[in-house]
Structure 1
Amino acid sequence: MTALVERLRTRAPRAPGSSAAGFDRRLIVPMILGSILNPVNSSMLAVALIPIGRAFGAAPSQTAWLVSGLYLATAVGQPVIGRLVDAFGPRPLYLAGTALVGVAGVLGVGAPTLGVLILSRVLLGFGTSAAYPASMSLLRSEADRTGMRSPSGVLAALSISNQVIAVIGPTLGGLLIAAGGWHLIFAINVPLSAACLVLGAVRLPRRGRVADAQRIDVLGMAQFAAMLTAFLLFLMSPGVGHIHLVAVALIAAGTFVWRELRTPQPFIDLRVLSGNAPLLATYGRQVLAYTTSYSFLYGFTQWLEEGRSLSASGAGVVLLPMSVTAIVVTAVTGRDPRVRAKLLVGSAAQVVGCTLLLVMGSGSAIWTIVLVAAVIGVPQGLNGLANQNALYAQADPERMGSSAGLLRTFMYLGALLASAASAAFYREGATTGGLHRLAVLLIAVSVLFLVVTVVDRSLSRVGR
């Protein structure tokens, strides 16, 4: 075992200022700053959908594409870029992705039409797809170099930053809109991108794994992208008129599976993945957890502004207890690598929070809204952290980037399901009746999440 650890230390890339004695903490800031680009852009938009709709004269079903466009790009981009991170190392992909975020921010600020604004969100989706798999790859390399069995403290820091920024995003978005309009939630990407570029250039290791470009499964990536894009486009507008998208997705899926089982260097090693039941269960829990989480983030926030008649900044303020609860929960539990108890409590809290939505109405007191937000903050602080720790323990170390990318893909699949649900239930606007119908669906999803967690006994081994 000692010889293996020593060999891994020799092979792993070293960052400036690193030492074999401990994790190179110079990497932590660019890892965290890059990985929050996606959740901050996701969550800030929650309070901007109504103002943007008014600015362009667009209905909620149209502005929903601002959400769906980012998640579609991210769902496709995360595992693809993650595989490139596995092949070429994290530095070049991190720098290219964060640079694209700045370009997308500039485009969003000057967008003359809703279509251009949606394009900006798509570019944001691809740009923000690089940092998280790059960070997980760096984390795995540093853990191997230093001999850490489970770097739970660094994993916790990464998870805390993502969870915290996701829940304070609505409040931050509300403050930016109050200060200068919805354009500021796009403009903020420019300084964030610049900071990532500077820190990434200075601190990320210059030498990583170098792969032969001919061994990259480009065709498999294209088939995967076609399959996922067709399926998600149908999910955004389900109906008989779009049934051809299902056929395209099935054909692409069939050719993708056929190729991946036969190519020596597959984009996604389906043989290994199919034999890893605990990791597949983690991906399933990710979909269920984030379908509920993002339905609450977007559906409830839109109702606060239309059904409860709060301003964008007011909606952000009353959701602040969600942020506080999530911060406290994550800080208390973050360094413990065990996941089963976190997932049990998180899924049960989602059931309770979604049930409370049924008692919301246009005359609901502010304190009741604050109570619901505080309850939902509990799973916000637990579920993402637990699934990330589970993935770290269950995934193949040599494919940590692509495995982490797939975890984000399933996360954004949940977000797209949430977006589709909000569009379906809010066809006539974000009414109280629509909120209650959405709540019934979310209760069912949350109960399924709880059941899947209860029956998965492999979770008890993670973190021991």
Structure 2
Amino acid sequence: MVLGSILNPINSSMIAVALVPIGVALHARPAQTAWLVTGLYLATATGQPIVGKLVDRYGPRRLYLAGSALVGLAGVIGLLAPTLGVLVVARVLLGLGTCAGFPAAMYLIRRTGAENPRGVLTTLSVAAQTTVVIGPSLGGLLIGVAGWRAIFAVNIPLAVACVILALVRLPAAPPAPAREPLDLLGIALFIGMLTALMLVTTSPWLLAVAVVLGAAFALRELRTSAPFLDLRVFGGNGPLIATYVRALLAQTAAYAYLYGFTQWLEAGRGLTATHAGLILLPMSLLAIGVSTLSGRREGFRAKLLIGAGGQLVVSLLMLLLNGDSPLWLPVLLSVLCSLPQGLNSLANQNAVYYQADPARIGASSGLLRTFSYLGAMVSSAATGVFFVGGADTAGLHDLAVFLTVVAALLLVMVVADRSLGRLGRDLEVGR
């Protein structure tokens, strides 16, 4: 479960240090190599709930094996790719192949009745955070030893390991009763809607396309007898919808801080990339510690309150930064940011485990990842707007005001959601 779940974050973070050498080798501009990042995000955001639905329908074994095989194929294509276009195809296949790991893990934890689900869920969260932290370092090491193609080739042995473990350990799905046909039209409308929404920053008219496709998707899902996403069930589960929105807000802040603040450290504060990375290091390491220590403890409300409150404090402190700020101030922000980074994602992931319909746990966990990636896209758009003239202090302050509003909304949502106080108790008593 851990190996399958970390394939996505490790591939998301390793590419950060490979964009420049790939651009040099394939004579591509930064705007073109950016599709190596966007392609994986698009494939993952749209593919997660679809693969999750298939996990609910056919069990984790088949989807996990198929996804692992796709990851291996992507590794081979990336190793041999002659052009940037082929490399983007490899990244899209990587995104689709890594969609199976997290929904399959959530399905197995829920269906097997784990005696300590919080411990297993914490392990998944910490493993993902750890791989995000070490991803750039691992990517740099691989590139230094064997060139940039090594960050694609490393997926081949990882995929082989996943296939072997799945064949040995994953249970075969029990015989299932006859099913109604899969809602292919609903899936197609969902893919179109989400793709248009995630690319709206490239062409504003895509927002209208997303709205039209979204309306058609909702109409289809409400009228068909076997919907891809039963909107009546999801729509009637207010706490689950609230968790998705919290995930979007939390990841908007997290990604904006990770990329926007980092850009300012280099362009606005004048630090080198190495020094900027060292300032972010306390956030990454402490976030892992926060997740590890808090993950096995009961309760959701307190974790989310501290996480949202910490993000609000960080956003307000960003308003104090300028080009002459002493280094201890950005270091302090990095330390404080470990609280939202370590608590928000973990609490929202665990909340979905308890809030989702057991029969839809795969699709529900996939949607959580989708909303998280939507948050990443919102943060990217915000950073582009506020840093349009460069990552200067004025742009950072505008970004800080935006993040303050996001953090305040997140805090209000946590305070208003009374269901968080009861979350998990009924399931634990039943077990």
TM exceeds 0.5?
A: yes
Aligned to 2:202: 237
Counterpart amino acid of 2:202?
S
Specify whether residues 119 and 366 from structure 1 end up closer, same or farther in structure 2 by C-alpha distance, changes over 3 A only: farther
Cα distance between partner residues in 2 of 1:325 and 1:193? 30
In structure 1, which of residues 192, 212, 221 is the aligned counterpart of residue 158 of structure 2? 192
Give the 3 Å change call, closer, same or farther, for CA 109–432 of structure 1 in structure 2. farther
Aligned to 1:152: 118
Change (3 A) 1:190 1:322: farther
**Among residues 34, 42, 56, which one is paired with 1:72 in the alignment?**
42
Q: Deviations over 1:35-62 (max 9, x none)?
A: 1111222233445556656666766655
Q: Is residue 419 of structure 2 the alignment partner of residue 458 of structure 1?
A: yes
Partner of 1:333: 294
Aligned residues of 1:87 and 1:209 also touching (Cα < 8 A): no
Post-superposition Cα deviations, 1:290-325, rounded to whole Å, max 9, x if no partner, equal 111112222233444555565555544442212211
Among 157, 162, 171, the alignment partner of 1:205 is: 171
1:389 aligns with 2:350: yes
* Cα pair distance change 1:152/1:404, threshold 3 Å: same
Displacement, 1:275?
Answer: 1.1
1:141 is the counterpart of 2:107: no
Cα distance change on mapping 1:445 and 1:114 into 2, 3 Å: farther
TM-score (ref. length: structure 2): 0.88
Cα distance in 1 for partners of 2:325, 2:90 equals 36
CA contact (8 A) 1:171 1:313 kept: no
2:428 — aligned with what? none
Contact 2:48 2:370 in 1 (8 A): yes
Q: Match of 2:48, as an amino acid?
A: Q
1:98 to 56, 65, 68: 68
| Matched residue type, 1:36 | I
Matches within 5 A, 1:17-36: 31-36=1-6
Q: Distance in 1 between matches of 2:148 and 2:387?
A: 22
Structure 2 matches for 1:99-138, cutoff 5 A?
99-138=69-108
Equivalent residue number for residue 408 of structure 1: 369
In the superposition, the TM-score normalised over structure 1's length comes to 0.83
Contact 1:89 1:210 in 2 (8 A): no
| Structure 1 vs Structure 2 CA RMSD | 2.8
The superposition leaves residues 139-173 of structure 1 with CA deviations (integer Å, 9 ceiling, x where unpaired) of: 11111xx6x4x622212222222233234434544
Q: Percent identity?
A: 57
Aligned to 2:220: 259
- How many aligned residue pairs are there? 425
Distance (whole Å) between structure 1 residues aligned to residue 18 and residue 266 of structure 2: 10
Q: Is the 8 A contact 1:132 1:405 kept in 2?
A: yes
1:13 match: none
Change in CA separation of 1:328 and 1:40 when aligned onto 2, cut-off 3 Å: same
Separation in 1, partners of 2:177, 2:194: 26
8 Å contact kept, 1:174–1:315: no
Aligned position for 1:28? none
* Structure 1 residues 101 and 84: CA distance shift in structure 2, 3 A: same
Cα 1:211–1:351 shift into 2, 3 Å? farther
Query: How far 1:68 sits from its partner (Å)?
Result: 2.5
Match of 1:215, SS state, is coil
Structure 1 CA distance for aligned equivalents of residues 380 and 416 of structure 2: 28
1:342 Cα deviation from its structure 2 partner: 0.7
Deviates more, 1:374-383 or 1:418-427: 418-427
Counterpart Cα distance in 2 of 1:179 and 1:380? 32
Distance 2:396 2:23 in 1: 19
Aligned to 1:19: none
- Is 1:283 matched up with 2:244? yes
In the alignment, which residue of structure 2 is the partner of 1:268? 229
Quote how far apart the aligned CAs of 1:134 are: 0.8
Structure 2 Cα separation of the partners of residues 451 and 357 of structure 1: 21
* Structure 1 residue 408 displacement after superposition: 0.8
Higher mean displacement: 71-80 or 429-438: 429-438
CA contact (8 A) 1:79 1:409 kept: yes
**2:194 corresponds to 1:228:** yes
| CA–CA distance in structure 2, aligned partners of residues 319 and 181 of structure 1 | 26
CA shift in 2, pair 1:92/1:193, >3 Å:
same
Q: 1:163 corresponds to which letter in structure 2?
A: Q
Look up the match of 1:218.
184
Deviates more, 1:418-427 or 1:32-41: 418-427
